[in-house]
Chain A
Amino acid sequence: MTMNRQPNLPAGERATLALRGLYEQFGFRKYQIGYFEEYGLYLQYKNFLTDEHIVSFTAPDGRLLALKPDVTLSIAKNIRLDNGPAKAYYIENVFREDRASGTIREISQMGLESIGFTSAYAQAEVLYLAAETLSAIGPASVLRVGHMGFILGLFDALGLSVADRTKVIEALAAKSPHGVEDAARAAGIGAVGLNVLSELCSLSGTADETFAKARGLCLNGRMSAALDELEATVRAVGSDFNLKPDFTLKGDMEYYDGLLMNGYVNGVPNAVLSGGRYDGLMKKLGRDLPAMGFALYLDDLKRLPRDNENDGADVILIADADAAPADLLAAVRSLTDSGRRVKVATAVPADANGAEVLRFDGKEVRSC
């Protein structure tokens, strides 16, 4: 039986089908988590979450539970590591408050986590799979890659306080030269530091050019080491993908300390993929191990046009009501096996939307 029967699925669903196979090929196993988690977990690690509004309720046994707003935290806390490194992927729904409408949104995510790895290969693998994930959605995609260690190294070199770091990192994330200047002035950063920060806001060009420019901005060993690691990982993934070094990507300073990534596809106004290396979170969870992963926001992909905007059928097959079911089914299958979507009707419907109209004469399919 031919299973070529997904000619007009939305990009998110098509990607889900294609990517599950890819992740399995790289040794990731599907991991399922429940809808609920102890509220205290999210309260304790709220800075790790992109949204601090958590939907909580009291369970019948008196425990305060939350509808999970995040998947990574649950996997990082609960996944078994007694047999060595763990590699898991997931397709889950999370729940977050929609501030604009004041309601709760159910958001579909797909992603993977690689935890407890012991070699540089593992993070190249995750970056590669993130790039493949974006490619599966569409050819017009860009994966921005940065390194939290580069930014934290810069902050060390500038001797910034925690409060000043927060202001500078926000201005960098907005690629705002005037914001950086204001924050630098308030923090008492000198001309050299200000120049580095301003340059980071506007770095552009090819990956090679950007790495070369960033090399000239390193002020200490931590920045250089982070840059080496990022460059080596990007080069390991190769030139088949559109990877763009971007040193303005941000992650929470307590939880992220390594590679960061944000993926964009043309047609969706925000990042559809985000992730990075979160060793800091693992440490806080009492599992001092390296970890890296990413999430793809499937709901956002629904904004992308389908390959075929005609969401009804490619073929309207007109058949008499008393046509023999077995013969008609065989005729329909001869059409669906060629990848077309077929709707059987007794008359041409008003919403044919440009579908090809054919007639089943009781024996075979003919043009009208």
Chain B
Amino acid sequence: MLNIALPKGRLGDKVYKVLAEAGYDCHEAFDESRKRVFESTDAQVRYFLVKPSDVAIYVQHGAADVGIVGEDTLLESGAGVCELLELGAGRCRKSVAGKADFREDPDRSLRVATKFANIAKRYYAGIGREIEIIKLNGSIELAPILGLSDVIVDIVESGKTLKENNLAVLTEIFPISARFIANKTSYTFKEDEVNAMLKALKAAAEGERA
């Protein structure tokens, strides 16, 4: 049996379509229910619906054999997993945003509010900028408005939330999309099952792109 970790929320809604097209119908998992584990009728596959940032952790620790995760949360977790396919679904941008009229003072360290501390640290280390990280868990857009930080590092999809809060994208760090990942031991011992799912997802993702 293949154990599959899926993300709840916005990304989950997007990958659900691709999964259904690939023959992995998991509508029960996405229905309003408090049930956390769902088995397919033929008992070949078991789905877990977890927080998007936890998918990579479930896969890394082998509780799930495979999973679908946003590239940003995968990078943030630093999980050592096989990253087998870019799904295309859930495309957005990891960006630096701030007040539209923000002017950076290069004479002091930049205060950066984010959920993604590791990505922010790596990005600013790469451009040699000293920063102070303010780790937040939600409503990141509030930070520059209230003066908690100079900028934020966050996911930008349409940019609507930023605009509504008088914020703007200052720099795009990298584009992101959903990834199909596998635990290294599972990919060793369940190679055929994982490859069958990989093949089906690849075909479905290509269909989506077409």
Interface size class of A (residues with CB under 8 A): 10 to 19
With A174-B82, A175-B82 in contact, is A269–B195 under 8 Å at CB? Answer: no
Does A120 sit at the interface, judged by CB under 8 A? no
A248 to chain B, nearest CB (A): 9
With A264-B189, A266-B189, A268-B62 in contact, is A179–B184 under 8 Å at CB? Answer: no
C-alpha spacing A231/B86, complex, angstroms: 32
Verify A268–B185 contact, CB threshold 8 A. Answer: yes
A304 to chain B, nearest CB (A): 12
C-alpha spacing A267/B190, complex, angstroms: 12
Verify A204–B195 contact, CB threshold 8 A. Answer: yes
- Chain B neighbourhood of A232, CB < 8 A: none
Interface centre among A174, A175, A265, A271 (most CB of B within 10 A): A174
With A204-B195, A268-B62, A269-B61 in contact, is A176–B185 under 8 Å at CB? Answer: no
Of A144, A176, A264, the contact of B83 (CB 8 Å cutoff)? A176
C-alpha spacing A179/B177, complex, angstroms: 12
Interface string of B72-86 (1 = CB under 8 A from A): 000000001111111
- Chain A neighbourhood of B84, CB < 8 A: 175-177
Does B158 sit at the interface, judged by CB under 8 A? no
C-alpha spacing A197/B184, complex, angstroms: 19
Does A140 sit at the interface, judged by CB under 8 A? yes
Does B149 sit at the interface, judged by CB under 8 A? no
C-alpha spacing A165/B81, complex, angstroms: 20
Verify B83–A270 contact, CB threshold 8 A. Answer: no
Interface string of A252-272 (1 = CB under 8 A from B): 000000000000111111110
Does B130 sit at the interface, judged by CB under 8 A? no
Residue ID in chain B nearest A262 by CB atoms = B184
22 A-B contact pairs sorted by A residue (CB < 8 Å): A140-B189, A142-B189, A174-B81, A174-B82, A175-B83, A175-B84, A176-B83, A176-B84, A178-B86, A204-B195, A264-B184, A264-B188, A264-B189, A269-B60, A269-B61, A269-B183, A269-B185, A269-B186, A270-B60, A270-B62, A270-B185, A271-B185
**Other than the known A179-B83, A267-B185, what 17 A-B pairs have Cβ atoms closer than 8 Å?**
A140-B189, A142-B188, A144-B188, A174-B81, A174-B82, A174-B83, A175-B82, A175-B84, A175-B187, A176-B82, A177-B85, A178-B86, A264-B184, A264-B188, A270-B184, A271-B184, A271-B185
